[in-house]
Amino acid sequence: RGPVSRRRFLALTGAAGLTLLTGCPGPAPSSPGPPAPAGLRLRAAPMRVDLAGRAVPTWGYGTVPGPEIRLRAGDTLRVRLANELPEGTTVHWHGLAPPNRMDGVPGITQDPVAPGAGFDYEFRTPVPGSFMYHAHVGMQLDRGLYGPLIVEPRTEELAYDREHTLMLDDWRDGLDGHTGHADPAEAPADDAAGTVSFGGRSYPLLLVNGRPPEDAAVVEVRRGDRLRLRVMNVAADTGFRFAIAGHRLTVTHTDGMAVEPVTVDALRLGMGERYDVLVDADRPDGGVWQIAVQPEGRSGWGRALLRYTGSDASRAPAVAERPAELAGRLAEYGDLLAREPLDLPAGPPDRQYDLVLSGTEIGGQSYPDADPLPVAEGERVRFTMRNTSAKWHPMHLHGHHFQVLTAGGRGPVKDTVAVPARGGEVTFDFLATNPGRWLFHCHNHHHMEDGMVRVVEYG
């Protein structure tokens, strides 16, 4: 299809599963416009997703990924969840810090929304950034129940001509008689010595924006454009390396939070992590370029395509063509400097937790047989995580942003951080300013289901 402006694109996706709450419930408005910043309806229901011509049953929010939710900093998010699934569900706003009762964690912040019932999520979104929403009941997230959530700043500091969001996913749902998710009983494959592995379960397909490599999503650019990409890993079990053939990536944000720009060849994204990058479309002859999504420590492949307007789409590179950039310079946490470090009180932390990650335990405990991690309002809290297991664990804290303590304490501000396997260690600090009970868990959905969860509890 021809070039589609962002506005138009939003209108198209907006019509699928997200309708304006106009007071009269009914179908999507027939004259599509961009979604309003408030008053949205998200319908979770069984659906089919088209994977290269094959209609595969799954659960989703109308499309996979679900419709983009876009607000401006300071807006109030108002979403009515309508649950048309055969089981209870919730929506979690990954990376945002809402009041606790809006966090969407069943059994902790709310009861699951029963089949046929609804729930109104409503809270202010003061902090801009690239976030996601997803179901937070069991392995529902392993199906299509996720989507992007973008909070634009009141004044945009970055200069760019167009933007695009890419959601990376591993997929098994609905394939070969599978329903639900990858078989929980299936033992993860052993790591080959020395490889970086996030998981090891079998996911036959890697999707970018719900599309398999043979039917890749196309990001259209004009020569001379500066493109902003919001790259998000929503996979269950797969860490990805991300690169674009013939182009470099200037990292401007991680997990929605600004960093001093760094230009690299490739990104590595643990599950739950996001990166914003700027890409200059400066190839003199245009063309069609591979946006490559390679799982860490596993075979398989995912991709999208970067196509310069006017270039012949049939000249797209072969699926397996592997950009050299994948093996180039990677954005490491240690290379990233927070643009606005957290306002942490000077001196040592008020409270410190040293948490060994082993198997699927955090600090020797496995949820639900796990003690809460108490904190008190106003404290500066430090988590040090040491990973003695053979898998990476992308650790996610709800309701807060934390500062990774690299670079003399000015490391990136994030909400999800991948702790390397076999002795990897990461320390972060956060300010306890958002009372409630908040999950701290591995964003490998299998590990989470296996109990790799603790609850940070304000006393």
Residue 345 is classified by DSSP as: P
447 contacts Cu ion (rule: CB under 5 A): yes
Task: State in angstroms the smallest separation of the CB of 443 from ligand C2O.
Answer: 6
Q: β-strands 118-125, 75-83: how paired?
A: antiparallel
307 contacts ligand C2O (rule: CB under 6 A): no
Residue, CB closest to ligand C2O: 94
# residues contacting ligand C2O (CB under 6 A): 10
393 contacts Cu ion (rule: CB under 5 A): yes
| Residue 393 binds: one of ligand C2O, Cu ion, none (C-beta under 5 to 8 A by kind) | Cu ion
Site string for ligand C2O, 330-369 (x = CB under 6 A): ----------------------------------------
Distance, in Å, from the CA atom of 444 to the CA atom of 188, rounded to the nearest integer, reads 12
| Residue 134 binds: one of ligand C2O, Cu ion, none (C-beta under 5 to 8 A by kind) | ligand C2O
Among 305-313, 328-336, 356-364, 439-447, the segment contacting ligand C2O (CB under 6 A): 439-447
Q: β-strands 393-397, 361-362: how paired?
A: unpaired
Distance, in Å, from the CA atom of 374 to the CA atom of 436, rounded to the nearest integer, reads 11
Q: β-strands 361-362, 351-358: how paired?
A: antiparallel
Distance, in Å, from the CA atom of 448 to the CA atom of 459, rounded to the nearest integer, reads 24
Among 89-97, 107-115, 214-222, 385-393, the segment contacting Cu ion (CB under 5 A): 385-393
444 contacts Cu ion (rule: CB under 5 A): yes
CA distances from 142 to 115, 183, 305, 368, 448 (A): 19, 11, 24, 21, 12
| Residue 43 binds: one of ligand C2O, Cu ion, none (C-beta under 5 to 8 A by kind) | none
Among 4-12, 164-172, 185-193, 437-445, the segment contacting Cu ion (CB under 5 A): 437-445
Give the DSSP H or E segment for 269: strand 266-269
3-state secondary structure of 173: coil
Q: Which residue reads 């069609």 in tokens?
A: 288
- CA distance between the termini of the chain: 55
Answer for which of 201, 268, 398, 446 binds ligand C2O (CB under 6 A) is 398
* 274 backbone φψ class: left, alpha, beta (φ>0; ψ -120 to 50): beta
* Sequential DSSP letters for 274-328: EEEEEEE---TT--EEEEEEEETTS---EEEEEEETTS-GGGPPPTT---GGGGS
Distance, in Å, from the CA atom of 262 to the CA atom of 334, rounded to the nearest integer, reads 11
441 contacts ligand C2O (rule: CB under 6 A): yes
Nearer to ligand C2O, 382 or 396 (CB): 396
Answer for which of 305, 439, 452, 456 binds ligand C2O (CB under 6 A) is 439
Site string for ligand C2O, 77-96 (x = CB under 6 A): ---------------x-x--
Task: State in angstroms the smallest separation of the CB of 339 from ligand C2O.
Answer: 23
Distance, in Å, from the CA atom of 407 to the CA atom of 420, rounded to the nearest integer, reads 18
| Residue 136 binds: one of Cu ion, ligand C2O, none (C-beta under 5 to 8 A by kind) | ligand C2O
Answer for which of 272, 295, 412, 436 binds ligand C2O (CB under 6 A) is 272
Write out the binding residues for ligand C2O, residues 110-139 only, by CB under 6 A. 134, 136
Nearest partner of 424 among 377, 359, 357, judged by Cα:
357
Among 19-27, 238-246, 290-298, 438-446, the segment contacting ligand C2O (CB under 6 A): 438-446
**For binding to Cu ion (CB under 5 A), which residues are involved?**
393, 442, 444, 447
**For binding to ligand C2O (CB under 6 A), which residues are involved?**
92, 94, 134, 136, 272, 396, 398, 439, 441, 443
